[in-house]
Amino acid sequence: MSATSMWDPGMTATGDGCPMPFDAAPATLGERIARLEAIEAIRALKAHYGALADAKYTADYRKIDADALAEVARRQAACFTEDAVWAGGNGFGGDLVGREAIARWFLSSPWRYAMHYYVSEALRVDVTAGEAEATWRLMQVALRDGDDTHARAVWLGAVTSERYRRDPVSSRWLISYMKFTDLQMMTLADTPLPIARNFAGLDAIRAARTQDIPQ
């Protein structure tokens, strides 16, 4: 990728996603505008992907019904190119190739509830080639799939390494490769369903825990 197409005239990213300076060649105003438009399109794509990842669950921490889940999974997979590669690793779909395979994985995720936060992106864009790459930092709170007595809260942190291509027909930017690296998880609580939507719910959880403590 040419230096003139980077996300910032003075910054790029190493393979581990750490920003570092470089000497960029001058770019015309048109090139800079095109680069910024591409960056914003990729950010919007990522926001749309994250929203769909969270749209599979109800307000009472369950998966939505099968038909609705299939539609959300299809729309989430539509964020990827037809030949996209998903490198999710053990427990997260493994290695998958193609939009259809990725959609099937989205149907069988290990969660009954999740909230994804993708932040601190480092983007490189080659507007001329219609290609881009990025790293994102992921924070996620989730409940593992299972009945109420086994649904445990999980905190997850990871880095995703991604590549993108601009579709030649629609001109939309799509994900062509996604890999999860530096994945870390921890259990947030030993009690089932330890998540609430308001303070009253939190107070009820706290009271239940107090009652379970041997006196």
Specify the pLDDT at position 116: 96
What's the CATH number where 163 sits? 3.10.450.50
Burial of 63 (0-12, 13-18, 19+ CB in 10 A): middle
| Residues 99, 73 contacting (CB under 8 angstroms) | no
How many whole angstroms separate alpha carbon 146 and alpha carbon 133?
Answer: 36
Specify the pLDDT at position 91: 83
DSSP 3-state assignment of 113? strand
The total number of structural domains that make up the chain: 1
Mean pLDDT, 10 residues at a time, over the chain (215 residues)?
37 46 62 95 98 95 95 98 95 94 94 94 96 97 75 88 97 98 83 72 74 55
Specify the pLDDT at position 192: 66
Specify the pLDDT at position 23: 38
How many whole angstroms separate alpha carbon 38 and alpha carbon 88?
Answer: 25
CA distances from 192 to 83, 107, 152, 185 (A): 39, 23, 5, 17
Boundaries of domain holding 155: 3-212
